[in-house]
Amino acid sequence: MTVGRREAVVAGAGLVLALAARPAAARTGEPAAGGHPSPRRRTLFLAGDSTAAQKYADAAPETGWGMALPFFLHHGLTVANHAVNGRSTKSFLDEGRLEPIAAALRPGDVLLVQFGHNDQKTTDPLRHTDPWGSYRDNLRVFVETARSRGAVPVLATSVERRRFDAAGTAQRSLGDYPAAARETASALATPLLDVEALSLALWQRLGPEATKTYFNWTATEQDNTHFNPPGAIEVARLVARELLRTRVLAPRETRRLDDELPARWITWPPAPPSAS
């Protein structure tokens, strides 16, 4: 995305206070006959990378945690998963992928942003960002875009990879990006879901062997970054609990937070012709 293009995306950020001040009825729908506001389903938009993205039949059993998030949300809250394999904050913005989200955002919606894995790739100029520079600047674009449309921006630290030392201690692998996301959220007074810390603690509790059953380990692949259905379900549970803890969602908008969910609930549709 060029500088001018990014400015167009965040244009209208000065309307944030005006939108926030609008009455609840105006934010949730136009009045129906008789003067009563008609309810509108809220949408949670997800912008992120392959750890969260929708997977298709040709990738099974690989599963993005965004595929499991609806299991923990009530039906009045729709998930629009715009996460895409291989994207960083930079490439997501440069490819114009925030623009359709911005066009669809409505007051009261949520924009949940999780990037970091691909921002780390120092040898790839199309994706790499400086955690204390361009990464933070890009996160600000997402936040300002959501606020300019009366939506709620939420930043999430990236889910941790499966990495253990010889003593069986779960290791951090994401460098300064989680810290940069935390600091950005604090500076912008934006809710933060600390998925990195929570997932690291979960992998530590499970240990090196048990965690293999949560990642995309198959007869031909040992993938320590992407999930299978059980792993995606557990990470989505962490995300849903954080959305509740930070009061982005109300208790009535979440469900099954303590329930065991069957892996068979995950399904992989055929890939659409335009999937990329």
Domain assignment present for residue 35? The answer is no
- Containing domain of residue 230, as a range? 40-265
Residues 148-157, mean pLDDT to the nearest whole number: 98
- Residue holding tokens 């509790």? 205
Using one digit for the tens of pLDDT, what is the confidence trace for 16-30? 333 333 333 333 333
Q: Residue 72: which of 229, 201, 258 has the closest Cα? A: 258
Domain assignment present for residue 244? The answer is yes
Domain assignment present for residue 228? The answer is yes
Q: Could you tell me which residues are beta bridge partners of residue 79?
A: 44
Q: How far is CA 68 from CA 185, 236, 256, in A?
A: 25, 6, 12
Burial of 196 (0-12, 13-18, 19+ CB in 10 A): buried
Phi, psi of 208 (to 5 degrees): -60, -40
Domain assignment present for residue 24? The answer is no
| Residue 189 pLDDT > 60 | yes
Q: How confident is the model at residue 239 (pLDDT cuts 50, 70, 90)?
A: very high
Domain assignment present for residue 240? The answer is yes
Domain assignment present for residue 14? The answer is no
Q: How confident is the model at residue 274 (pLDDT cuts 50, 70, 90)?
A: confident
Q: How far apart are CA 217 and CA 20, in angstroms?
A: 46
Of all helices (H) and strands (E), which one includes residue 46?
strand 42-48
Q: Decide: helix, strand or coil at residue 53.
A: coil
| Residue 45 pLDDT > 90 | yes
Provide the CB-side half-sphere exposure for 230 (13 A, CA): 11
Domain assignment present for residue 187? The answer is yes
Q: How confident is the model at residue 39 (pLDDT cuts 50, 70, 90)?
A: low
pLDDT of residue 41: 86
Domain assignment present for residue 31? The answer is no
**What's the CATH number where 80 sits?**
3.40.50.1110
* pTM, 2 dp: 0.86
Residues 205-221, mean pLDDT to the nearest whole number: 96
| Average of per-residue pLDDT values in the chain | 89
Q: How far apart are CA 206 and CA 160, in angstroms?
A: 14
Kindly state the tokens that stand for 116.
């970091």
Element counts in the chain: helices (H) and strands (E): 10, 7
Query: Total structural domains in the chain?
Result: 1
Q: Residue 195: which of 110, 114, 81, 82 has the closest Cα? A: 114
pLDDT of residue 70: 98
